[in-house]
Amino acid sequence: MKKDFFNNKINRINTNSVKWDRMENLFGKKDLLPFWVADMDFAAPEEVVKEIAKRVDHGVFGYTTPTESTNESVRSWVQKRHEWNIEADWITYSPGIVFAISMAIQAYTQKGDSILIQPPVYTPFFEMVKVNERKLIESPLYLKGDRYSIDFSSFEKQLASGVKMFILCSPHNPIGRVWKRGELEKIAELCKKYDVLILSDEIHSDLVYKPSVHIPISSLNEDAENRTITCIAPSKTFNVPGLQASAIIIPNNELREKYQQQQHKQGFFTLNTFGTIGLEAAYTHGEIWLNELLAYLQENIDFTRSFIKKNLPSLKVINPEGTYLLWIDCRALNMSDEDLHNLLLTKGGIAVESGVKYGAAEGKGFIRLNIGCPREQLKEGLKKLKAALS
Ligand SMILES: Cc1ncc(COP(=O)(O)O)c(C=O)c1O
């Protein structure tokens, strides 16, 4: 395993990094150690860096466009990693997945239409529905032991109330579930019954730990394929979110045309030169790097879980099946979210995400900890967590 590569601490201060350089602004305090935004502290795979450097050396940065080989890199990646057979012309490119979510909301729904989400969930799911003046409908996930599940009776009740679109987070940020085939089949069956479009955000789909397996909901059957818009990207997988390049896979011709028209209406035509190169290089050459990353992240998860069990037994780590984000139940501390957040900042010196960002009720008493960093940095952060809460 390339342990040295992932153990290597790279100074990111003064690189315009949101994670490191925006902390003082966002958290109101200097010298914090960051465990918040979903951005890892690892360098990208060598081949990605090499291909970008080659392009930099060329020196001419005119308009560029994804090519057949870019499409092929996406097609063969999802086939190899997720046994999903797609066609090259199902793929559209987008600078980001939050942008794509907003485009899909605008393309397929009208102001006032109902859109369903499952809190606790990634904050922009709430935001994009609200800023587009659609009606936010929620079917919260429920926690039993250390595992979240879908309450299918609430899910069906909400779909039956006239929902137009369901935004699925698969795997689910922040609770780390990798949905099982049976769960996805039930979702697809109910969306068919109530004729609801599925917008499936699969940005974390490559970050899954054995024995869990990611199944693209679109790959289940013909009906699911025809009602699903799937969003994937190399950004979380290979830690290249700054390259701003994502692939939106829409098998249904009519839905794809509507989506493309919406991007066109916003004046979007093509990706950034380096985004295109990075996406293709990552999907073409990044597999070995990813397998090594997954082994490293699994060790970080195991380390964190045993540290917390030993040193902070009142906290409960929700077992992650995917993602590098740990959802930690701190309710036994009996503290308000504000007090907990402030304590971690002032006494601990660490920046984590407050659970309430992912659902006011569902995230109450939780924090989200990003363990995508060198082990020494993680150890330092956990010591700080212990010092704050002991
Ligand atoms: C579920 C999910 N979707 C989308 C994003 C962001 O995607 P992008 O940067 O491409 O907009 C994130 C980032 O954390 C995420 O967790």
- Kindly state if the Cβ of 378 falls inside 6 Å of ligand 1: no
Task: Check whether residue 119 and residue 200 sit in a common domain.
Answer: yes
Q: State which of 264, 285, 306 marks the end of a domain.
A: 285
Rounded CA-CA distance 108/224 in Å is 16
Domains: count for the chain? 2
Rounded CA-CA distance 115/159 in Å is 9
Place of tokens 């958290």: 27
* CATH number for the domain harbouring residue 109: 3.40.640.10
Identity at 11, one-letter amino acid code: N
Whether 22 shows a pLDDT value over 60: the answer reads: yes
- Say if 365 falls within a structural domain: yes
Each residue of 144-186: pLDDT tens digit?
Answer: 988 999 999 999 999 999 999 999 999 999 999 999 999 999 9
- Say if 54 falls within a structural domain: no
Q: State which of 244, 269, 285 marks the end of a domain.
A: 285
Rounded CA-CA distance 183/118 in Å is 14
Task: Check whether residue 308 and residue 276 sit in a common domain.
Answer: no
Rounded CA-CA distance 227/185 in Å is 13
97 Cα to the center of ligand 1, angstroms: 6
125 Cα to the center of ligand 1, angstroms: 10
Rounded CA-CA distance 170/321 in Å is 11
- Kindly state if the Cβ of 365 falls inside 6 Å of ligand 1: no
Task: Check whether residue 98 and residue 217 sit in a common domain.
Answer: yes
* CATH number for the domain harbouring residue 26: 3.90.1150.10
DSSP letters spanning 124-161: HHHHHHHHTTPEEEE--EEEETTEEEE-HHHHHHHHHT
Task: Check whether residue 36 and residue 92 sit in a common domain.
Answer: no
Of 200, 199, 215, 178, which is closest to residue 323 (Cα–Cα)? Answer: 178
DSSP letters spanning 215-252: --GGGS-HHHHHHEEEEE-HHHHTT-GGG--EEEE--S
Instruction: Provide the pLDDT for residue 239.
Output: 98
Task: Check whether residue 189 and residue 330 sit in a common domain.
Answer: no
Confidence of residue 3 (pLDDT cuts 50, 70, 90): confident
Instruction: Provide the pLDDT for residue 343.
Output: 96
Whether 1 shows a pLDDT value over 70: the answer reads: no
What does the pLDDT average to over 214-220? 98
Task: Check whether residue 241 and residue 293 sit in a common domain.
Answer: no
Task: Check whether residue 103 and residue 79 sit in a common domain.
Answer: yes
- Kindly state if the Cβ of 176 falls inside 6 Å of ligand 1: no
Six token digits for residue 47: 């081949």
- Say if 52 falls within a structural domain: no
Task: Check whether residue 204 and residue 83 sit in a common domain.
Answer: yes
Task: Check whether residue 333 and residue 210 sit in a common domain.
Answer: no
- Say if 57 falls within a structural domain: no
What does the pLDDT average to over 308-331? 97
Each residue of 266-285: pLDDT tens digit?
Answer: 999 999 999 999 999 999 99
Q: Which domain holds residue 225?
A: 62-285
- Kindly state if the Cβ of 323 falls inside 6 Å of ligand 1: no
- Say if 72 falls within a structural domain: yes
Of 96, 139, 141, which is closest to residue 114 (Cα–Cα)? Answer: 139
- Say if 51 falls within a structural domain: no
Six token digits for residue 298: 């699994």
Rounded CA-CA distance 142/388 in Å is 29
Q: State which of 256, 285, 314 marks the end of a domain.
A: 285
